[in-house]
Chain A
Amino acid sequence: MQPPIHPVSEVSFPKPEQHTLSNGIPVWRLNGNRNGLVCISLVFKAGRWYEDNKQAARATAFLMREGADSRTSMEIAEELDFYGAKLHIIGRQDFASLTVYCMKQHISHLLSIAKGILLHPTFDKKEIRTFIRRNVERLRIDLEKNDVVSFRAITELIYGVDHPYGYNTTQGVFYRLDRSVLQNHHQQFFTTSGCTAFVSGDIDDSIYKYLEETLIELPKGNSIQKTHTAIASENRILHLDNPKTREDLQASIRIGRALFTRNHPDYIDFAIMNMLLGGYFGSRLMSNLREENGFTYGIYSSVEAMIQSGYFQISTEVGRDVKDQAINEIYSEIERLKHEPVGEAELTMVRNYLMGSMLQMMDGTFHRMRAVQSLVMSGMPFDFYDDMKIRIQTISPQRIQEVAQQYLNREDMYQVVVG
C-alpha cells in the first residue's frame, strides 16, 4: 500500500545579512555549515554584455590568475593547490566572478592571493598564446559535436551574429585577442562600481576585515552601462548537415524563441508551464519521446533568463531516422498543452515536485547562497521566492493553457536540426 504523501507547504528562505565595505562594495553573508568550509564569491559586471572585443570576458577571467603581482602563474597555482582551495574565475554572459572554496583557516592567505589577481594581473604574452592555442584546438573538437553546433545556431538565430548572447566564437575571434584587449577589459570592469561580494559557510565577523583588505585598493570605476539590440533572423528553420564526414546516427534538434527576464509578470507562470512540458524527468516530452516511443535518451525544455533577455528552448538528440516524427511529436505535445486543461493528478505532481525542488535549492548554505546571488545580481526582491511558492500552489489549469497559447506558437519558434 502506498503511504500517504505530505506535500511540502513551507520552504524557509533565510534572509542574508547585508554589510557595506568602506569603499561602498555590498557584501551579502549567510552563515551555516559548522564544518570548517567557506565560499567567497566576488562578482563583477564584466561579462560578455560589457566587452569591447568578442571573448574578452572569458579570456580575461581565465588569464587573470596566470601571473599577478609578484607571483608567477605556477606559484599561484601551487599555493592554491597546497591549501586544497578551489579558485574559479569565470566570465559569463552578464558577469565575471571570482570564487574561492576553502577551509576557513586559510581565508586570509587565499584572499591575499585573490587581491593580487584582481589588482595586478600581468597578462603575460606567453600565457595568452597558450590560452589561444588550447582554445582553438578545443573548438575544433567541439564543432564536431552536433549538440554544440545546434546550440550555437539557435542562439545566433535568436539574438544575431554580433549580440553578446548570440555570437559564436570562431578561430579568428581567438586569434584577435591580445594583451591590450585583456588589459582594457580588466581595467574597465574589475572596479568597485560593478562589484558585489557573497560570503557563506563557516564564517564569523572577521570576514569583513579580510574583505576590506582585499578590496580596498580596487579602483573606483565609472558606472557601467551598455546596450545591445537583438537582431533576430528572418529565417526560422535551419537544417545543417553535420560538419564532419563521419556518418551520423543521431540528429540534434533545438526548438526555441526569445522570451523575457525574470522580472516579467509572466515569468513564473511560464516556468511552471515549462516544467509540465519538458522541465523534469516526468514531463510530457520525456514521457512521449523517450518512455513511449524510444526516440531518444532524453529531451528537456528550459527557460534561460539572463539580465537583459531570456529565451526558451527544447533540446534533444534523436535517432536520425525518426527526426521528423520526433519534431511532430514535440509540436503535438505543445498543442495538447494549449488545448486541453491539465488534469488534477498531473498538476498536483508538478506542484509538489516544484516545492520539493525549492526545498532542495535552499538545502545547505552554499546552495542557498547561489539562490541569493542570482536574485541580488538580477536586482530582484527577496520575496521572489515567496511569490513563486504561492504561484506554484495556486496556478490554475486555465492559466497554464493561457501562457502556452500566448508564448508557444509554432510561427514564433526557431527550429534547428543538425545531422
Chain B
Amino acid sequence: MTLDYMRYVLDNGLTVILHQDNETAMAAVNLLYKVGARNESPERTGLAHLFEHLMFGGTEAAPNFDVPIQTAGGENNAFTNSDVTNFYDTVPAANLETALWIEADRMMNLKLDFKALDTQRKVVVEEFSETCLNQPYGDVWHKLRHLCYKKHPYRWPTIGLVPEHIKETNLDNAHEFYNQYYSPNNAILVVAGGIDINKTKQLIEQYFGNIPAAKIQENLIEQEPEQTEARELDHQALVPVNALYIAFKSAPRNSREFYIQDLISDIFSNGRSARLYTRLVKNQQLFNDIDCYVTANYDPGLVIVDAKLSPSISYAEAEAAIWNEIDQLCTTPPTQRELDKVVNKAESSIRFGNINAIDKAMNIAYYEALGDITLLNREVDIYRSITPQEIMQGARDLFNRKKSNTLRYKANTIQHN
C-alpha cells in the first residue's frame, strides 16, 4: 500500500500536502499546529487544550465557527495532545473552499473576548470533571506522568495539572499563546479526498498565502534526564478493583527502536492470542484485564503495562507474573511465526486505517509533524525488517528494573463478593 501525495511550502512557511482520491465525494482538511501540552509552562498547564476550545470562538467574518461548516454539509472537530493541536473538517468536496476559508480566517483573525474565554474555561473544567475526577481511575494519568517524568513537560496530562490552572487563565495568556503558536510557519495543512489538485493549490494560495509568518521563539523543552532508580507509588482510592501500572521510557517516535518496542507491546497484548492475555488473564487468572501499549510521543514516551487484578490476587503475585513474562522475552527471542503474526497485524491495521479521506489526511499530517513524512509509506517495511533477535535485545534495553515506574492504584472499598 502506497499513498501518493504532493508536498510543498508556501512563502509564509505553511507546509501543504495534498492527496487525491477520486473514489470519494468528500474532502478532508486537516490543519495541525505544532503546539501541545509540552509547550506549556508548569504554572499554566492545560492552556494548549483550552486554546483549542477558544479556536471555535469565532471571527468578525464568521462569528460562529460551526455555522458555515455545518451549512456546507460538513463536520469539524479538533484534539490536543502532548505534542500537537489538530483541527479537522470533512465537507462535501464541492464545499472545500468553505473549509479552507474558515480555517485560514481563524488562523489570522480569531476574536478573543472575555465571554468566550469565560464559557470555555467552564466547559473545560466540566471536561476535567467528566474525564478525570468523576470516573473511577480517572486521575491515573496525573499520577503516572508525575511518577515517570521529573523535568519534561510530559509530567502533566493534556487536560492540565489542576482545574485551577484553567480557571485562572486570562485573556493576556490566550493572546500570547495565539500570537506565538498559531501562525502558518508553525502549521501543516493537509487536504485529501475528491479534490482537483490545481484548483486546490490555487485556493490554498488565495486563503492562506497572505497570512504573515510569525517569529517563532525557540521553545527549548527540558529533556528528561536518564532515570537511574526504580520508582514506586502506592495510591489508595475509592475504586472497585485493584489496578497496576508499570511504565518504562520508550525510544523517540522516529527511531528504529520505537518500532521494535511497538512490536514488543503487540507480542504482549495486541489481539486475543497475545501473551499477557492468554497466559495471565485466561490461564493463570491473575488479572481481569491486561494491556500493554506505547504512547507515541515526539520525545521519549512510555511503554506501559496496564492491568486490573483478579479479586484475591496480591500485588506481589501480580507483579512477579508480569516480570516473569518480561524476563522470558529478554532471554528467549520470539519464534519467527509469532513475530510475523504481530507484523501482519500491524500491516493490516495500517491498511484499514487508511480508507477514509479524513483518516488519510490525519495520518499524513502526523508523519509530517514527526519530521519524516516518508515514514507514512515505509512503516510496513520497517516492521518487516525487524528480527526475533532484535526483539529480545530490544526487550533487554527497554525493561530495565532500575528504570521502571510502578503505580499501585489500590481499591480501599470493602470488597463485596
Residue positions of A touching B, CB distance < 8 A: 1-3, 5-8, 32-33, 35-37, 73-74, 77-78, 80-86, 101-103, 127, 130, 133-134, 137-138, 140-141, 143-146, 244-246, 248-250, 280-282, 290-297, 317-319, 348-350, 352-353, 355-357, 359-360, 363-364, 366, 419
Contact = CB atoms under 8 A, between A and B. Distances in A.
Contact of B135 (A145, A364, A419): A145
A282 B70 contact: yes
A141 B413 CA distance: 12
Interface of B: 1, 23-26, 61-62, 64, 66-68, 70-75, 77, 90-92, 94-95, 97-98, 101, 118-124, 126-127, 129-131, 133-136, 237-241, 270-274, 278, 281-282, 285, 288-289, 308, 310-311, 337, 340-342, 344-345, 347-349, 351-352, 355-357, 413
Contacts of A366: 355
Most A CB contacts (10 A, CB to CB) among B71, B337, B342 go to B71
Contacts, number: 200
B130 A250 contact: yes
B94 A6 contact: yes
Nearest to A34: B23
Contacts of B345: 81, 84
B72 A5 contact: yes
Given A7-B73, A35-B1, A77 B273 contact: yes
A133 B285 contact: yes
A135 to B, nearest CB: 9
A143 B239 CA distance: 11
A250 B25 CA distance: 41
Contacts of A291: 119, 123
Contacts of A78: 273, 341
A5 B272 contact: no
Nearest to A139: B240
A137 B273 CA distance: 22
A360 B358 CA distance: 11
A133 B308 CA distance: 12
Given A82-B340, A363-B356, A1 B61 contact: yes
B127 A3 contact: no
Contacts of A74: 273, 278
A137 B308 contact: yes
B348 A356 contact: no
Contact of B71 (A1, A5, A138): A5
Contacts of A83: 344
Nearest to A242: B134
B126 A297 contact: yes
Given A84-B347, A296-B123, A353-B71, A141 B25 contact: no
A77 B118 contact: no
16 contacts: A6-B95, A35-B355, A37-B352, A127-B282, A130-B285, A244-B238, A249-B129, A249-B133, A250-B126, A290-B123, A291-B123, A292-B119, A297-B127, A353-B71, A356-B73, A359-B25
Given A103-B348, A138-B288, A146-B134, A8 B73 contact: yes
